[in-house]
Amino acid sequence: MTIHEALRTKVATGRKLLIPYVCAGSPSLEATLPILQALADAGADAIELGIPFSDPLMDGPVIQAASHQALKAGMTLAKALGIAAAFTASRETPLIFMGSVNPMLAMGPETFVKRAQKAGVGACILPDLPLEDQGRLPGLSQVQLVAPNTPNERVQALLAEDPPFLYCVTVFGVTGARTTTADYTLPFLRRMKALSQAPVLAGFGVSTPEQAVELAAACDGVIIGSALIRAMNAVDAKDAARAAGDFLKPFRQALD
């Protein structure tokens, strides 16, 4: 089953999607695979595996620090592909790569796409690869990002690419846990929901189950990153998988 089919089938049943983000290699290379497996077992509908890069585009301080730590520990795109292959061999939860396009281009676009497909990667989120250049990675589905100020015409052009889902950047700024919802966020999500036949997910700033429920009421689900990374950073790396699962379960329960 493709990631498109998996997510849309769940949305059709009324399920709110829950997609966590983790950075490959953080808090350690050895912990990454068990973390992915724990998140799948805790009810994730898909998982974003971040590819660390020295010059991130949208990442706030928590994810920047995780990327820096992972790079220092020796994480590479090739190693992330190995982790992806091991994960998709053990779980059916769709896996998405998120990061800069630069490491993919450095590997070679065709080589990367072939290796990603072989590893079971379902799609990519590449914020610095605009729609007009997405043909540089042919054969690999792209999640499309939209912001509160994205015009409807641009949204329609992005949706014409048949993305697995529409990633709604809910605030003007970078990633990071937030305690309040901006006054423009819910109207933005409702506008995207009215325009899109693809699932609409809210990302940036989701840090509590209560926030997840509030945002998901206006769309099809939420993406959680920085708050999850903080929870894993609060324990020893060997306990990070347990912490990840424990963190995600209340979100799954609240959304259900």
Active site includes 59? yes
The C-alpha atoms of residue 71 and residue 64 are separated, in whole angstroms, by: 11
User: Which of 45, 59, 110, 246 does the annotation list as catalytic?
Assistant: 59
Active site includes 239? no
Query: First vs last Cα of the chain: how many Å apart?
Result: 23
User: Which of 5, 48, 162, 239 does the annotation list as catalytic?
Assistant: 48
CB distance 27 to 233 below 8 Å: yes
Cis-peptide, bond into residue 103, ω within 30° of zero: no
Report the b/e string of 226-251 with b at 16+ CB within 10 A: bbbbbbbbeeebeebbebbbebbeeb
The tokens of 189 are what? 């999500």
Taking Cα atoms as reference points, which of 255, 252, 29, 66 lies closest to residue 176?
66
What DSSP element (H or E) covers 118? helix 109-119
Give the strand pairing for 144-146 and 166-169: parallel
Q: Which residues are known to be catalytic?
A: 48, 59
